[in-house]
């Protein structure tokens, strides 16, 4: 009888751990989806959403290659992006 209780207890523990794992996978998938949506929003903010997907991807690949080559490029793009975010935030407050 004691063995049966132990088996039942372990089975419950496994089920509880499987539920926790499933919830963690859902949270991770939702976070990845949110990240992709945010990145898509950046394309819209950059007013590039009217370009074809292959053009946008090509531009991003080119920028990535430039960022790998030169640190000055990274700082330049960072300052442009920060200014764009600030202008977007300030523009929303004025409306």
- Distance, CA of 4 to CA of 12 (rounded, Å): 12
| Predicted pLDDT of residue 61 | 95
Tell me: do 84 and 64 sit in the same domain.
Answer: yes
Sign of torsion over alpha carbons 45, 47, 53, 57? negative
Note the pLDDT tens digit of each residue in 42-90: 999 999 999 999 999 999 999 999 998 887 888 899 999 999 988 877 6
Range of the domain at 7: 1-50
Tell me: do 40 and 60 sit in the same domain.
Answer: no
Tell me: do 65 and 93 sit in the same domain.
Answer: yes
Note the pLDDT tens digit of each residue in 19-49: 999 999 999 999 999 999 999 999 999 999 9
Tell me: do 35 and 55 sit in the same domain.
Answer: no
Tell me: do 35 and 66 sit in the same domain.
Answer: no
Rounded to two decimals, the pTM is 0.66
| Predicted pLDDT of residue 92 | 55
């Amino acid at each position: 009888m004691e063995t049966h209780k132990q088996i039942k207890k372990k089975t419950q523990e496994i089920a509880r751990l499987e539920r926790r794992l499933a919830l963690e996978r859902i949270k991770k998938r939702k976070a990845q989806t949110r990240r992709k949506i945010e990145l898509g929003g950046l394309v819209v903010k950059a007013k590039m959403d009217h370009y074809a997907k292959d053009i946008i991807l090509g531009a991003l690949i080119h920028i990535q290659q430039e960022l790998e080559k030169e640190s000055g490029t990274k700082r330049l793009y960072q300052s442009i992006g920060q200014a764009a975010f600030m202008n977007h935030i300030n523009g929303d407050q004025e409306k």
